[in-house]
Amino acid sequence: MPIAPRSWLLVPGDDEDALGKALDSGAEAVVVDLEETIAPDRRKAARTITAGWLRRHDFASRAGGAQIWVRINDFSSDDWCDDLVAIIAGTPNGLVLPKAASSEDVRRLAAELDGFEPGHGIAHGRTRILPMIGTTPRAAATIPAYLTFEEPRLAGLSWDADTLGKTLGVTRIRDGEGRWTDALRHARTQTLLVAHALDCWAIDTAQADFADEDGLERAAGEAAADGFSGMFTVHPAQVPAINRAFARSPALAG
C-alpha cells in the first residue's frame, strides 16, 4: 500500500476561487466536494466547474504533486451517477464515498467504475475508493463486516463524526475534556482497527471548527498517535498543523 496523504482538504466543487488555491495549500490530497458543501440547486454547476478543473489538472500533469480525489454523492441520492459521468474523464486519483451503508456500497461503486474507466482510456482499477463508514447506527454496527471484504480499489477507511452525531441526535460529540463521546469513540476505534486489519489507510474525521487552533492541534496529534494515516480538513489554514502532526521519518518521506 502506498504511503497515505497526511492532509485531505475538502474543497466545494462550485467554488472556483477555492479550487484555484487548493493545490497551493500544502494539502497532500485535495478532495473536491460534490456532496455536503453543495446546495441541491448548485450541484449541476458544481459538476461543470469540477469537470473543467479536473481537465486542467489531469492525472498525467500532477505527477509528484497532491493527489486529487472527488467526494461524490451517496447512493441514497439521485446525484451520484451524474457525478460519475461528469468527473471520471478528469482522472481523479480516487473517489470518496460518503455515508457508505455497508461494504456492499463500496462493491457497487467499484462495479460502476469497472464500467466507466474503459470508455475514458483509464487503466482498470486505477480509480481508488475511500468510503466514509459508520455514519448511521446501523452502518456503525456493520463496520466489522469489512474484515471479510476484498476489493482492490479500496484505498482506506474513514468516518464522519458530524454525520454520525446528527443521525444519533446527540447534543455533543466531545465531552467537557475534549474526548469523543462513547458512541463516536466506538465508531472511530472500529474504523481504525478494521483499516489496520485490512492493511489500508485510516483517515480520521475533520475538525469542523477551523478557528479552534488548539483543538485542531490536539485532534491531529491524537489521530497520529492513535495510528491514523491522515486526517480530513475543511479549511486550508488547518493543513500545516495536520502535516506536522503526521510528520514522517526521513526514510518514509523519501
Residues ≥6 apart with Cβ < 8 Å to 135: 98, 99, 100, 159, 160, 163, 164, 167
Among 3.30.2350.10, 1.20.950.20, 1.10.10.10, 3.20.20.60, name the CATH number for the domain at 7-253. Answer: 3.20.20.60
Segments making up each domain of the chain, as ranges: 7-253
- Across 62-76, 149-163, 230-244, least confident range: 62-76
pLDDT for the residue 64: 65
The mean pLDDT of the chain is 93
Residues ≥6 apart with Cβ < 8 Å to 1: 155, 199, 200, 201
Answer whether residue 252 shows pLDDT above 50. no
Average pLDDT score over residue span 23-45:
96
pLDDT for the residue 177: 82
CA distance 237 to 127: 28
pLDDT for the residue 61: 59
CA dihedral 236, 241, 246, 252 (to 10 degrees): 80
- Tell me phi and psi for residue 146, to 5 degrees: -65, -20
Confidence of residue 250 (pLDDT cuts 50, 70, 90): very low
Of 123, 186, 187, 181, the residue nearest 160 (C-alpha)? 187
pLDDT for the residue 62: 63
For the chain, the residue count is: 254
Q: Which residue has the higher pLDDT, 177 or 111?
A: 111
Query: What's the pTM?
Result: 0.94
pLDDT for the residue 254: 39
CA distance 9 to 6: 10
- Across 152-166, 195-209, 212-226, 237-251, least confident range: 237-251
Q: pLDDT tens, 84-97? A: 999 999 999 999 99
CA distance 4 to 201: 6
Average pLDDT score over residue span 150-168:
97
Burial of 26 (0-12, 13-18, 19+ CB in 10 A): middle
Residues ≥6 apart with Cβ < 8 Å to 127: 88, 91, 92, 93, 94, 95, 113, 117, 153
CA distance 194 to 249: 25
Nearest-5° Cα angle at 30, 52 to 215: 145
pLDDT for the residue 69: 98
User: What nine digits make up the cell of 23?
Assistant: 493545490
Q: pLDDT tens, 35-75? A: 999 999 999 999 999 999 999 987 655 656 899 999 999 99
Q: pLDDT tens, 174-226? A: 988 889 999 999 999 999 999 999 999 999 999 988 788 998 999 999 999 99
Identify any residues that bridge with 232 across adjacent strands, giving them in sequence order: 8
214 Rama sector, left if φ>0, alpha if ψ -120 to 50, beta otherwise? alpha
